[in-house]
């Protein structure tokens, strides 16, 4: 009996000791917090020890909790998925072009582990930042067509590996009629992955809408099929949407090199934008904007446009706002349209610096477009312009004249949507969202391409201090889009044609536009009886018609060897910096000054007969470019 009493006392002592340890270690406070309701949870979250908070916040490594979950029949955890069997059947064989299928180096992609480590490219402040724990879960929608299996698998695995499990409701793969249905079907074995397959090619927009319609979570996350998510990529995005459902947010998009698949961090000083050809581009923040962010470099960045491949938004807001334009085909223009729609209809677009996702950027599309990629892009872009840009669409048609000839279909339902949502005019967008975009009519004498015959002045993709050259005219703006400003400079974006020096053989370069720089001032001289002043502008100056015989008699002083015969070349008269120059192109590329000064030739045969392709630019409200269907290469 005495022995039994001692045993009971021992058990009682151990029980009391256990309770004391539990309370001391914080277990009791967790119970108290759980009973305190939603408002109390936020306060308790802020009071939790930072080390424990970090453990609670990110369940990237919460494999123990995951392993306790029961998987549905036929499902496996991503770590148990057989990468070798899935990727092995489609690997590039010896002697095959590794770029042929996907336009990136598939051999390098296939070598990588499905869960490879990538550098944490976030700002230091992001790495110390804590996120709310009461964030909504998301459905991740990934559409693909004939994607490399290794790239698609890494996208899926990176979502699961780099996200807290409770924040991923599901991953919906929409197979847009890939040649091999097993590309997607086999991935359906992975936990949380659902696969939908189109029974015909639908394109990005309609495929995304199908995925969004099937989504079960309250927040949608759209990703391209060749991405890799970085550390804590999801929480910053969800937090912004949870705070305001009208926000559409995007990560900073890091670069995955298409040749060696190296992961490179992108600048955090960029915003999305476009030129009047309506092609997306990255804009650097102004110096004033960068200075304003020095105190908080990880603050959200308001952006006029998103790249379109990677973003997060509230599911019901996506539906209220009209989803995507379902009459757009394949790819292109959809980011333009949704960006205009969000801003003009009461929402906002943000880039979140603490969220980083890598993306494989390619130089060309790996798949075909019915009717050609240029025509499809022009059709989609024209639909966006006709619905959302009001009279400012005229600047698009001035920059891309061929777009007028591309039928864009019926837009009545989208116009009605705009009216229903009481959306603001495009002028408001320009003034309040994208004031950096120059409106040509307000500042320029002429706008368009500088063309002679079938050749146009082209930046050749160069930027500041780069040379310019000639290239076959493509009528799509971009590198061939120029403006003659009121200050008489020839301008491309924020760069002006500049005479480096006035010696024969000097290059003409693109340099930052400067006030009162005589090397950037172009002088237009027109005589009575020649073309009108608005078409008679420098570089392609029809006011100074030149005879081939007169040209042939002129020595190319200072140009050296390596020059093509005179007659077939584009030859321009350039009145720049107070001097008249001959301009020709060389076999090596680039545009050069080949005579320091010329007098007017005697004979008047018209050799230099090109003009600004847009001639006089119509101002807003003229109605030019409106109407029904009227080509982009």
What's the whole-number mean pLDDT along residues 225-245? 99
What's the whole-number mean pLDDT along residues 625-629? 26
What integer pLDDT is reported at residue 542 of this predicted model? 27
The pLDDT confidence band at residue 88, using thresholds 50, 70 and 90, is very high
pLDDT in tens, 42-79: 333 233 333 333 444 444 445 555 556 789 999 999 99
What integer pLDDT is reported at residue 20 of this predicted model? 58
Q: SS3 for 216?
A: coil
Quick check: 144 pLDDT over 90? Answer: yes
CA 234 to chain centre: 19
Q: SS3 for 262?
A: coil
What integer pLDDT is reported at residue 559 of this predicted model? 34
Query: How far is residue 412's CA from residue 627's CA, in Å, rounded to a whole number?
Result: 13
Strand 193-197 vs strand 444-448: parallel, antiparallel, or unpaired? unpaired
**Alpha-carbon torsion (425, 427, 428, 430), positive or negative:** positive
Q: SS3 for 250?
A: strand
What integer pLDDT is reported at residue 311 of this predicted model? 98
- C-alpha pair distances (Å), 460 with each of 125, 573, 613: 39, 20, 19
What integer pLDDT is reported at residue 554 of this predicted model? 36
Query: How far is residue 65's CA from residue 85's CA, in Å, rounded to a whole number?
Result: 28
What integer pLDDT is reported at residue 482 of this predicted model? 80
Residue ranges covered by each domain of the chain: 78-360, 450-595
Print the SS3 string covering 298-335.
Answer: CCCEECCECCCCCEEEEHHHHHHCCCCCCCCCCCCCHH
Quick check: 614 pLDDT over 90? Answer: no
Structural domain 450-595, CATH architecture: Trefoil (2.80)
CA neighbor of 525 nearest in space, from 545, 548, 552: 545
Q: SS3 for 147?
A: coil
| Residues in CB range of 21: below 8 A, 6 or more apart | none
pLDDT in tens, 325-348: 999 998 889 999 999 999 999 999
What's the whole-number mean pLDDT along residues 436-459? 71
The pLDDT confidence band at residue 98, using thresholds 50, 70 and 90, is very high
DSSP lists the bridge partners of residue 301 as: 351
What integer pLDDT is reported at residue 474 of this predicted model? 74
Higher-confidence position of 198 and 477: 198
User: Helix H segments across 425-482?
Assistant: 426-432, 440-443
Query: How far is residue 10's CA from residue 156's CA, in Å, rounded to a whole number?
Result: 54
Backbone dihedral angles phi then psi of residue 449, each to the nearest 5 degrees: -95, 150
Quick check: 323 pLDDT over 70? Answer: yes
Query: What DSSP string describes 542-606?
Result: TTS---HHHHHTS--TT--S-PPPSTTS--EEEEETTEEEEEEE-TTSSEEEEES--PPPS----
Quick check: 33 pLDDT over 50? Answer: no
What integer pLDDT is reported at residue 501 of this predicted model? 65
The pLDDT confidence band at residue 233, using thresholds 50, 70 and 90, is very high
Q: SS3 for 385?
A: helix
CA neighbor of 477 nearest in space, from 394, 397, 585: 397
Look-up: residue for tokens 């069997």?
85
Higher-confidence position of 538 and 580: 580
The pLDDT confidence band at residue 451, using thresholds 50, 70 and 90, is low
Query: How far is residue 286's CA from residue 25's CA, in Å, rounded to a whole number?
Result: 51
Report the phi/psi class of residue 77: left, alpha or beta, with left for phi > 0 and alpha for psi in -120 to 50.
beta
What's the whole-number mean pLDDT along residues 385-403? 91
The pLDDT confidence band at residue 21, using thresholds 50, 70 and 90, is low
Query: How far is residue 18's CA from residue 145's CA, in Å, rounded to a whole number?
Result: 58
Q: What whole-number percentage of the chain has pLDDT above 90?
A: 52
The pLDDT confidence band at residue 549, using thresholds 50, 70 and 90, is very low
Quick check: 136 pLDDT over 50? Answer: yes
Look up residue 432 and give its two tokens. Answer: 């309040």
Quick check: 546 pLDDT over 50? Answer: no
Burial class (CB in 10 A: 0-12, 13-18, 19+), 147: buried
- The CA-based angle 156-213-172, given to 5 degrees, is 10
What integer pLDDT is reported at residue 368 of this predicted model? 66
Most confident of 355-364, 369-378, 549-558, 618-627: 355-364
Task: Give CATH for domain 78-360.
Answer: 3.90.550.10
What integer pLDDT is reported at residue 507 of this predicted model? 66
Provide the mean pLDDT of the chain. Answer: 76
Quick check: 161 pLDDT over 70? Answer: yes
pLDDT in tens, 284-321: 998 899 999 999 999 999 999 999 999 999 999 999 99
Query: Any idea what DSSP says for residue 366?
Result: S
Quick check: 167 pLDDT over 70? Answer: yes
Most confident of 4-18, 103-117, 357-371: 103-117
Quick check: 511 pLDDT over 70? Answer: yes
What's the whole-number mean pLDDT along residues 219-243? 99
Do residues 597 and 608 touch, judged by C-beta distance below 8 A? no
The pLDDT confidence band at residue 160, using thresholds 50, 70 and 90, is very high
Backbone dihedral angles phi then psi of residue 349, each to the nearest 5 degrees: -115, 135
| Residues in CB range of 563: below 8 A, 6 or more apart | 556, 584, 586, 587
What integer pLDDT is reported at residue 19 of this predicted model? 59
CA 369 to chain centre: 20
Quick check: 596 pLDDT over 60? Answer: no
The pLDDT confidence band at residue 401, using thresholds 50, 70 and 90, is confident
Quick check: 562 pLDDT over 70? Answer: no
Higher-confidence position of 17 and 227: 227
Look at 103-107, 221-225, 520-524, 534-538 and tell me which has the smallest mean pLDDT: 534-538
What integer pLDDT is reported at residue 2 of this predicted model? 57
């Amino acid at each position: 009996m005495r022995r039994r009493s001692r045993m009971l006392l021992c058990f009682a002592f151990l029980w009391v000791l256990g309770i004391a340890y539990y309370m001391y270690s914080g277990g009791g406070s967790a119970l108290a917090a759980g009973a305190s309701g939603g408002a109390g949870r936020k306060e308790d979250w802020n009071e939790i020890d930072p080390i424990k908070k970090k453990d609670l916040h990110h369940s990237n490594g919460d494999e123990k909790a995951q392993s306790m979950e029961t998987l549905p029949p036929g499902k496996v955890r991503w770590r148990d998925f057989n990468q070798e069997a899935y990727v092995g059947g489609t690997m590039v064989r010896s002697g095959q072009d590794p770029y042929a299928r996907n336009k990136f180096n598939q051999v390098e992609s296939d070598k990588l582990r499905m869960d490879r480590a990538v550098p944490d490219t976030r700002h230091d402040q992001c790495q110390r930042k804590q996120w709310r724990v009461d964030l909504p879960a998301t459905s991740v929608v990934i559409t693909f067509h004939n994607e490399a299996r290794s790239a698609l698998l890494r996208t899926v695995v990176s979502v699961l590996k780099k996200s807290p499990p409770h924040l991923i409701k599901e991953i919906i793969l929409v197979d847009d009629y890939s040649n091999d249905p097993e590309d997607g079907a086999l991935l359906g074995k992975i936990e949380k992955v659902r696969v939908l397959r189109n029974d015909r090619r639908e394109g990005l927009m309609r495929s995304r809408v199908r995925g969004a319609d099937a989504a079960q979570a309250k927040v949608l996350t759209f990703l391209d099929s060749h991405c890799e998510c970085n550390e804590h990529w999801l929480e910053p995005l969800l937090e912004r949407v949870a705070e305001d459902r009208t926000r559409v947010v995007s990560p900073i998009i890091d670069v995955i090199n298409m040749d060696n698949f190296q992961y490179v961090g992108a600048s955090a000083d960029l915003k999305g934008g476009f030129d009047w050809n309506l092609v997306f581009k990255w804009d650097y923040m102004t110096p004033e904007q960068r200075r304003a962010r020095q105190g908080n470099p990880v603050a959200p960045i308001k952006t006029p446009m998103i790249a379109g491949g990677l973003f997060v938004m509230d599911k019901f807001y996506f539906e209220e706002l009209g989803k995507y334009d379902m009459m757009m085909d394949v790819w292109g223009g959809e980011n333009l349209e949704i960006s205009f729609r969000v801003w003009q209809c009461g929402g906002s677009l943000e880039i979140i610096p603490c969220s980083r996702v890598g993306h494989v950027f390619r130089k060309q599309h790996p798949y075909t477009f019915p009717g050609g990629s240029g025509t499809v892009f022009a059709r989609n872009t024209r639909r966006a312009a006709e619905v959302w840009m009001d009279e400012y669409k005229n600047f698009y048609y001035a920059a891309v004249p061929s777009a007028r000839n591309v039928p864009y279909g019926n837009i009545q339902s989208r116009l009605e949507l705009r009216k229903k949502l009481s959306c603001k005019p495009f002028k408001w967008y320009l003034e309040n969202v994208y004031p950096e975009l120059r409106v040509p009519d307000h500042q320029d004498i002429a706008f368009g391409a500088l063309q002679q015959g079938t050749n146009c002045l082209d930046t050749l993709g160069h930027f500041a201090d780069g040379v310019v050259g000639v290239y076959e005219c493509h009528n799509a703006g971009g590198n061939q889009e120029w403006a003659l400003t009121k200050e008489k400079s020839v301008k491309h974006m924020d760069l002006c044609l500049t005479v480096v020096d006035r010696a024969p053989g000097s290059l003409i370069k693109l340099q930052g536009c400067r006030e009162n720089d005589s090397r950037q001032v172009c002088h237009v001289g027109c005589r009575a009886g020649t073309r009108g002043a608005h078409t008679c502008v420098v570089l392609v100056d029809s006011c100074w018609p030149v005879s081939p015989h007169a040209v042939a008699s002129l020595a190319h002083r200072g140009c050296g060897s390596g020059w093509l015969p005179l007659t077939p070349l584009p030859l321009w008269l350039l009145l720049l910096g107070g001097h008249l120059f001959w301009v020709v192109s060389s076999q090596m590329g680039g545009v050069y000054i080949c005579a320091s000064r010329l007098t007017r030739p005697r004979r008047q045969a018209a050799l230099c007969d090109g003009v600004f392709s847009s001639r006089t630019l119509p101002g807003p409200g003229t109605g030019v470019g409106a109407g029904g269907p009227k080509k982009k290469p």
